[in-house]
Amino acid sequence: MGLQNVRDYQVFAVSVEVVGHICGALDEKILPFCDGIMSHLLTDLSSGVMHPSVTPLIFSCFGDIGIAIGKHFEKYLPYVMPMNQVASEIFAAMDTANEAMMNYSNQLKRGIFDACSGILQGLKNSRSELMLPYAGHLLQIIKLVVGEKTREESVSKAAVAAMGDLAHALGPNVKILFKDRAFYVDFLRECLDSDDYKMKEIATWTQRM
């Protein structure tokens, strides 16, 4: 099975991406296989032998699974969200003066935001309150990224999308979270003023939440 082939990182990476595509195609029909898939992915993340380049793909895959199975992702939250937090600490400590490290950092950020967005989208119609304990940390990650002097546009898109998904999922609860976090106002304005149509579209949607 590709998800067990951690040492051949190219095969492993393709396997993770395939799982994400399958989730998109099957939606809740993937549910009977999720315990096995999640067990492999979580074990691989913490194994210490996995090639770092696969880490962002796994986080994105968590998002794909979250969208596919919706409220059933609840039992995985206590395992996935702490790993999200650890990953954010890793990119925060990276030396982004190194181009290769900067590229990896950007991939990791996108993966983290993809995971959060997917999980939030999956939970928003039923169990969105489950994300409340993790919402503050997600905003801290976004704030950290927003404060960077150089930021890749794709990371900004992923960050503003995650912010919108958070607001959409949590509804009125989000007002308390955003209180005293003025950074999001400037960030939204920056995205709304972007020349990139997709960025502006996402930011406009986020602003309405």
DSSP 117-171: HHHHHHHTTTTGGGGHHHHHHHHHHHHHHHT-SS--HHHHHHHHHHHHHHHHHHT
More confident residue, 196 or 150: 196
> Residue 21's pLDDT band (boundaries 50, 70, 90)?
very high
pLDDT tens digit string along 70-92?
999 999 999 999 999 998 988 88
Per-residue confidence (pLDDT) for residue 114, from 0 to 100: 96
Number of structural domains found in the chain: 1
Choose the weakest-confidence range: 3-7, 134-138, 175-179: 3-7
**How far apart, in Å, are the Cα atoms of 159 and each of 24, 30, 57, 118?**
21, 27, 17, 13
Question: Quick one: three-class SS letters along 54-68?
Answer: HHHHHHHHHHHHHHH
Phi, psi (rounded to 5 degrees) for 181: -120, 75
Its domain, for residue 150, covers: 2-208
pLDDT-derived band at 2, boundaries 50, 70, 90: low
Looking at residue 162, its pLDDT comes to 95
Q: What is the pLDDT of residue 5?
A: 67
- 113: domain CATH number? 1.25.10.10
CA distance 101 to 115: 21
Determine contact, residues 96/102, Cβ cutoff 8 Å.
yes
CB 23 within 8 A of CB 67: yes
Is pLDDT at 140 greater than 80 in this prediction? yes
Q: What span, in angstroms and rounded, lies between the C-alpha atoms of 7 and 24?
A: 26
CA distance 113 to 156: 10
Distance (Å, whole) CA 118 – CA 166: 10
Mean pLDDT confidence for 152-169: 94
